[in-house]
A and B are shown apart, each in its own frame.
Chain A
Amino acid sequence: NAGVTQTPKFRVLKTGQSMTLLCAQDMNHEYMYWYRQDPGMGLRLIHYSVGEGTTAKGEVPDGYNVSRLKKQNFLLGLESAAPSQTSVYFCASSYSSLGSAEAFFGQGTRLTVV
């Protein structure tokens, strides 16, 4: 029972480089989310998806893009990394038909941009 799996777990990027974070869930969840966690700021929503082929902006979407080509995968892309994107990134998923359902989280990706 893998749940939500994030790849990679750690990464160091140089300013201007690009990368893609992969999130995979095996629970057949409709909804998927990308959050970033920064000290003193809690979790802030970057982008989310309510189903395969759909994406929407969250609270802090600038500098990120996402894709949901398959129901089980949700990709987060950084086209040109900036030091301000140094953070811990969490993916989560949940059922859609049950609004009271809790979210399940991956273990996080620690990204450092130098």
Chain B
Amino acid sequence: AQSVAQPEDQVNVAEGNPLTVKCTYSVSGNPYLFWYVQYPNRGLQFLLKYITGDNLVKGSYGFEAEFNKSQTSFHLKKPSALVSDSALYFCAVRDRESGTYKYIFGTGTRLKVLA
């Protein structure tokens, strides 16, 4: 079965420093991977996705993610964190195995950027 793991419940980073939010996945075949962000009392907003091709994917608000097939990871990164980046981040994989194309989410990582 396909799955996603986010090993950190919370990540703290100082404003201006680089940030990394970790995600590992388990799929058979080539994965479709996604990152979403959730601000308080809001729905999930799409940030970026990996389909195929370049391992470094660029997305919204200056975020990027690095796909690493050998380590089965898809870590979210940003060179310089902003206080406004503080939010809940979800990694997801789309289930291609069953043909249903369900989205399977990790448990989320709370990012706190300190001024």
Contact = CB atoms under 8 A, between A and B. Distances in A.
B32 A100 contact: yes
Nearest to B9: A40
A102 B33 CA distance: 9
B101 A96 contact: yes
Given A40-B107, A99-B96, A104 B46 contact: yes
Contacts of A94: 101, 103
Given A90-B43, A105-B43, A105-B44, A41 B107 contact: yes
Contact of A58 (B34, B36, B102): B102
Nearest to B6: A42
B63 interface: no
A56 B105 CA distance: 18
A108 B32 contact: no
Interface string A89-100: 010101010011
A33 interface: yes
A103 interface: yes
B43 A99 contact: no
Interface stretch (A14-22, A43-51, A64-72, A79-87): A43-51
Contacts of A105: 36, 43-45
A94 B103 CA distance: 10
Contact of A50 (B42, B96, B100, B103): B100
B67 interface: no
B11 interface: no
Interface of B: 9, 32, 34, 36, 41-46, 49, 51, 90, 94, 96, 100-108
20 contacts: A31-B101, A35-B105, A40-B107, A42-B105, A43-B44, A43-B90, A43-B105, A45-B102, A45-B104, A48-B102, A50-B100, A56-B100, A92-B103, A99-B94, A103-B46, A103-B103, A105-B36, A106-B43, A108-B42, A108-B43
